[in-house]
Amino acid sequence: MDFVEEIVQFKDFIQSRSFTSAPLLLQLIREKNLQSIFPNVDIAFRLYLTFPVTNASGERSFSKLKIVKNRLRSTMGQERLNSLALMSIESDVVRRLDFSDLVKDFAAKKSRK
């Protein structure tokens, strides 16, 4: 059975029920073990539900990269730029990190110039 036929049959199957959202339809497929009957519909719903609603996170990443590049463009290598951009993008995670052990290790090392 191809995808179009599967959609038509799935539509006929759910007409007697009142579902208003894709998550509820996927839940129905899972609860009734209909994955083998409607495998393509199951995959389509899972893909649909994993797509981001907006591209704000991607735009935010490029915005942060632009800020980092402008501040330190002349003195920075690509690896450092990537690391700083990642830290800026994931700033909420970085703020929760405890750097005390890192600072102690760094302070304990001999001074190198």
> Mind listing the pLDDT tens digit for each residue in 61-81?
677 767 766 665 656 677 777
Task: Say if residue 32 is in the same domain as residue 60.
Answer: no
How many domains are contained in the chain?
A: 2
Confidence of residue 22 (pLDDT cuts 50, 70, 90): confident
If asked whether residues 36 and 75 sit together in one domain, one would say no
Q: Which pLDDT band, with edges at 50, 70 and 90, does 15 fall under?
A: confident
pLDDT of the residue at 54: 58
Q: What are the two backbone dihedrals, phi and then psi, of residue 53, each rounded to the nearest 5 degrees? A: -70, -35
Q: pLDDT tens digits for 23-65?
A: 888 888 899 898 999 999 999 988 888 876 655 566 666 777 6
Rg (CA), the chain: 25
Domain that holds residue 64: 56-108
